[in-house]
Amino acid sequence: MGKITVLFVICCCCLPAQAKYGGGSGTADDPYLIYTAEQMNSIGADSNNWDKCFRLMADIDLSGFTGTAFNVIGYWVKPSDNKAFTGLFDGNSHTISNFSYTSTDKNYIGLFGYVRDPNAEIKNLRLIDPNVDAGTGGAVGSLVGWLREATITNCYADRGSIAGVGAVGGLVGLNLNYGTITKCYSNSSVLGDGFVGGLVGFNTGTITNCHAKGSVFGNGRVGGLAGYNENTILDCYTSGNVTGDDGSSYVGGLCGESIGPYDGKSQSRIHNCFSNATVIGHRDVGGLIGNSGAIVTGCYSTGGVIGRDDNSRWIGGLIGYNDDEGRINNCYSTGSVTGDENVGGLVGAGGKDEVAYSFWDIETSGQTTSAGGSGKTTAEMQKAGTFIAWGCEHVWTIDEGVDYPRLVWENKPGELITVPSVLYGGGTGEADDPYLIYTAEQFNTVGLIPCHFDKHFKLMADIDLGQYTGKSFNIIGFNESYPFSGLFDGNGNTISNFTYTSTGRNYIGLFGYLSGASAEIKNLGLIYPNVDAGTGRSIGSLVGRLEGTITSCYVEGGSVVGFFRIGGLVGDNYHITIGTIGNCYSTAGVSGKYNVGGLVGYSTGTIYNCYSNGSVSGDIRVGGLVGRAPGIISNCYSTASVTGTTEVGGLAGYSGTVSNCFSTGSV
């Protein structure tokens, strides 16, 4: 039998292409035509045709090819021994049934083993009951083992199973070097050890409008759609169960791990996706992502999340562990969440200050705490008013009182979530017709509407924020993802009793993050603000981080407490060219650890015509006016009392360019 097979392959290679296929010349206008299983198998037998165009003309059944009998199209053994499929295969909406491949150790296995070229594409193909078992092999998928710089469009794998060790996916094992997968899905079950995904095992490309519904089982980096992701996933969903075995880590309903920036690589992004999968694992386990350094926007998860054994930890309804680089915006979770340590309704552990406008259901999750986000009752989670910030995007609908928010592309019953037309006391937000603020309630609404952060506002009366305690005030300009870039004119009025208490959030102030060439706050007074950020960084009473302009503003009394870059008015004046503070003062008490100043904690920008008069205490780089100021200070003074241990000064603990300044306070 072995001799017959060899002779068949040799003969196929010797035949003219027209004789091996059902017609055509292999060009884009006249592709080779495939009518039978034998013709399909002939493609892999002749690598000379792997740069050609093919079209499937009928449904075919490959059940006659078992073990390793099918000629996989494209191979990679080592850098000096490989050849990719670089052509076009159009499935023409036909199906290939019962593709089977069984090996103890082969890598790069799929109907196509290795596909590489910016112009290479597989499209409009349906696989029914594919079964691939690569043993200890890696880069295994039903359709493609390794996709590199190439495109897959409108393809799917239905039923069947895919197994290997590393980089195992229901459709594609490895998607590298900006490979693109669009409008595809897999219902196949997937089994592997590391980098295991329902659609793709290991992804550095782009996945759009795809889904996976098969069960996924693995040990490390196990995801319902992708085991590992370092690029973009957009408009995708999953619903199959995702299970990590004993001691497993990085297990998620959509992705096991989606990374932050490193070694010059961009930060991964997951946008407008959801997962209904039940997720089980030991460590870093999340309803959407197990471990995330990604920018995650407009996503949700509804499946249960379970820490599977003793000492399970970092378990979250949406994300198990959110790295310092990770950002979570406009997301929610509703599934039950259980585990032993660091268990959260939305996020198990990590950067809580990087979670914006995101929520979890405290009733269905069984969790009242989270490392980020806001817990709501089921009734609140089914009200449009809870998600007012999401109205800026026009991508969410809600059937109030019946269901949670859904993405527009799901086509669920409900009304579009929008920003109400009347929120303030008048105005349109333009420079000549600013939004008018008369009350504390109107002012607290500003921080809820990120699409208004580039608008113009004018304060029309003195207001008292005493009703907002703890973290109930909505900080304006949440982080670098949502900075305030507009103009706020205090109009000579005051804001009293601004209070905010946190154990470690960064960028805290009435305005958390202000950034932009036109970003400005002017003519505003703060009376007795009290901010305690615990171990937080970039903390001030008016602005946490400034990359814009502040003029004619002041702080009288109150206190500001934090850890790093702490100032009475501004925590961090960060921008060399546009970070400017002029004609301002502060008499607040300020305390912190590093870079602590009576007016500004840290400044690389410009400070002019300013003064401070309060008490300032810290450890390293502590100053009456500025803790550390490598920027410019001119025409300023301080009468503040200063206490510290290293680099302590009456005006600045550390300074750059200083002119016409003095200090008289005790040091």
pLDDT digit string, tens, across residues 577-624: 889 999 999 999 999 999 999 999 999 999 999 999 999 999 999 999
- Pairwise CA distance, residues 404 & 384, whole Å: 9
Q: Is the CATH code 2.60.120.920 the one for domain 215-381?
A: no
pLDDT band at 548 (very low <50, low <70, confident <90, very high): very high
Average the pLDDT over each of 132-136, 252-256, 353-357 and give the range with the smallest value: 353-357
pLDDT at 93: 98
Which pLDDT score is estimated for 11?
43
Q: What is the model's pLDDT at position 6?
A: 39
Residue 416 in this model has a pLDDT that exceeds 80: yes
Q: Mind listing the pLDDT tens digit for each residue in 345-363?
A: 999 999 766 798 999 999 9
Per-chain mean pLDDT for the chain: 95
Identify the band that residue 17 occupies on the pLDDT scale cut at 50, 70 and 90.
Answer: low
d(CA 171, CA 157): 6
Instruction: Locate the DSSP E strands across 528-597.
Output: 530-532, 537-540, 543-556, 559-561, 564-567, 570-573, 580-582, 585-586, 589-591, 594-597
Dihedral sign for Cα atoms in the order 193, 194, 196, 200: negative
For residues 552 and 583, the answer to whether their CB atoms sit within 8 Å is: yes
**501-527 pLDDT, tens per residue?**
998 889 999 999 999 999 999 999 999
Distances (CA, A) of 575 to 240, 245, 603: 47, 48, 8
Q: Is 432 exposed, middle or buried (0-12, 13-18, 19+ CB in 10 A)?
A: exposed
pLDDT of residue 19: 67
Residue 446 in tokens: 């500003």
Residue 575 has pLDDT above 90, yes or no: no
Does residue 245 have a pLDDT over 70? yes
Average pLDDT over residues 391-418: 96
Residues 314-340: tens digit of each pLDDT: 999 999 999 988 999 999 999 999 999
Q: Per-residue pLDDT for 114 more than 70?
A: yes
pLDDT at residue 9, rounded to an integer: 40
* DSSP designation for 373: S
Fold equal for 215-381 and 435-663: yes
> What average pLDDT does range 460-470 have in this prediction?
97
Three-state SS annotation for 424-488: CCCCCCECCECEEECCHHHHHHHCCCHHHCCCEEEECCCEECCCCCCCCCCCECCCCCCCECCEE
Separation between Cα atoms, residue 570 and residue 540, nearest integer Å: 4
Q: How confident is the model at residue 18 (pLDDT cuts 50, 70, 90)?
A: low
pLDDT of residue 241: 96
pLDDT at 467: 97
- How much is the average pLDDT of 400-416? 97
pLDDT at 158: 97
Average pLDDT of span 118-135: 98
Segments making up each domain of the chain, as ranges: 215-381, 386-416, 435-663
- pLDDT tens for 377-387 read 999 999 999 99
Helix (H, G, I), strand (E, B) or coil at 512: strand
Lowest mean pLDDT segment, chosen from 11-20, 100-109, 472-481: 11-20
Question: Quick check: 7 pLDDT over 60?
Answer: no
Give CA–CA dist 323/291, Å, rounded.
7
- pLDDT of 48 higher than 60: yes
CATH number for the domain formed by residue range(s) 435-663: 2.160.20.110
Quote the tokens at residue 389: 């910030």
Beta carbons within 10 angstroms of residue 379's beta carbon = 11
User: What are the pLDDT digits (tens) for 52-65?
Assistant: 999 999 999 999 99
Greater pLDDT, 263 or 124: 124
Cα–Cα dist 125/133, whole Å: 21
Looking at the chain, the whole-number percentage of residues with pLDDT higher than 90 is 91
Element (H, E) at 322: strand 319-322
pLDDT at 364 over 80: yes
The pLDDT, as a whole number, for residue 352 is 61
% the chain with pLDDT above 70 = 97
In angstroms, the CA 632 to CA 621 distance is: 16
Please check whether residue 240 is in contact with residue 214, taking contact to mean a CB–CB distance below 8 angstroms.
yes
Residue 177 pLDDT class (50, 70, 90 cuts): confident
- Per-residue pLDDT, averaged over 467-493, amounts to 95
